[in-house]
Amino acid sequence: MQTNLRGRDLISLQEWTFEEVQTVLEVAAQLKRERALGIPHPLLRDRTLAMLFFFSSTRTRGSFESGMAQLGGHAEFIESRTTQIAHGDTPKEIGEILGRYNDGIAIRHVTWGEGNAYQRAVAAASRVPVLNMQCDLFHPHQILADLQTMQEKKGDLRGKTITVSWAYAASYQKPLSVPLDLTLATTRFGMNVRLVHPPEYRLPQEYVDQARENARLSGGSLELMDDFDAGFKGSDIIYAKSWGPLLVARDDEEGAAIGKRYTDWITDGRRMAMAAEDAIYMHPLPADRNVEVADEVIDGPHSVVYDEAENRLHAQKAVMALTMR
């Protein structure tokens, strides 16, 4: 248990030690138990969190707002297009000013090549913690919820096999922050990680190299694969979702054309049957039903997507309680 997290930014879990990440998961489990028992925990009474969104949200906004209320504080929703950010407010000004009004700043900005840099510029100017609600590279609060869910369902994660796979979706070219961040995190927990995707959907090499080093240090492994079916075989955890070919496509039209080559990459019952008998299916939601994943899987006995979504609340409350007090 680490007790020195007050005032810390959370932009990337890779910048937190393994012990610090475990501390968040321990506190998240405690807060979840207290919530179930009706034990109030107003740890952030009179604290406020500015939530700045450049990209729409359902689970992220709902879980952060509810979490702050349950901790005794208040979250204010700020939409970038309806503020002076659209007319010239700089990241420095946002960090300086919102940091003086609030006890924390949470930002969701997923534009490729912009989001992470923007968050770091705000953090450099802010006197209060900056929390990443998703950027173009990382989605740390989703990943904390994923880790919490995996531990609840599978116990000690060392030696467990997780398949982090691309899947087809037609809705839009989704960010690659979930698979990238999930690969970085699970390799720190001694897991055997299969990163599965068509060649056009590779992740930035510097982060793949970091994940490989994480695996070496933790006693786990990282295997890169391009065969969707092979990725399922014997796996304990299936985490298959879409992301865009952002390293190779010049625009959304080209990205969509690339994706249409792989419309058969759908998680269906036949493929889930290839996984371990007690395998779980995970997805951060929203999923493109019957395109990315079949109803029989996402609504079936292997699916833990709603427990996973609930854990966003508990994991985020743990981060806020530890950093904003």
The domain 13-139+311-323 belongs to what CATH superfamily? Answer: Aspartate/ornithine carbamoyltransferase (3.40.50.1370)
Task: Tell the residue number behind the tokens 């990440």, with chain if given.
Answer: 21
The domain 142-308 belongs to what CATH superfamily? Answer: Aspartate/ornithine carbamoyltransferase (3.40.50.1370)
CB contact at 8 A, 158 and 130: no
pLDDT of res. 172: 79
Report d(CA 102, CA 171) in Å as an integer.
Answer: 36
- What's the pLDDT tens digit per position in 207-223? 999 999 999 999 999 99
Classify 155 as helix, strand or coil: coil
- What's the pLDDT tens digit per position in 91-113? 999 999 999 999 999 999 999 99
Query: Exposure string (b/e) for 201-220, b if CB count within 10 Å is 16 or more?
Result: bbbeeebbebbbebbeebeb
Let me know if the fold of 13-139+311-323 is the same as that of 142-308.
yes
For the chain, what percent of residues have pLDDT higher than 90?
A: 94
pLDDT of res. 56: 84
Task: Tell the residue number behind the tokens 């912009």, with chain if given.
Answer: 114
The domain locations on the chain are 13-139+311-323, 142-308
What is the arithmetic mean of pLDDT over 79-98? 92
Q: Which of 212, 110, 226, 249 is closest to 165 using CA atoms? A: 226
Q: Per-residue confidence at 250, pLDDT binned at 50, 70, 90?
A: confident
The token duo for 323 is 């950093």
Report d(CA 7, CA 183) in Å as an integer.
Answer: 26
Question: What's the start-to-end Cα distance of the chain, in Å?
Answer: 17
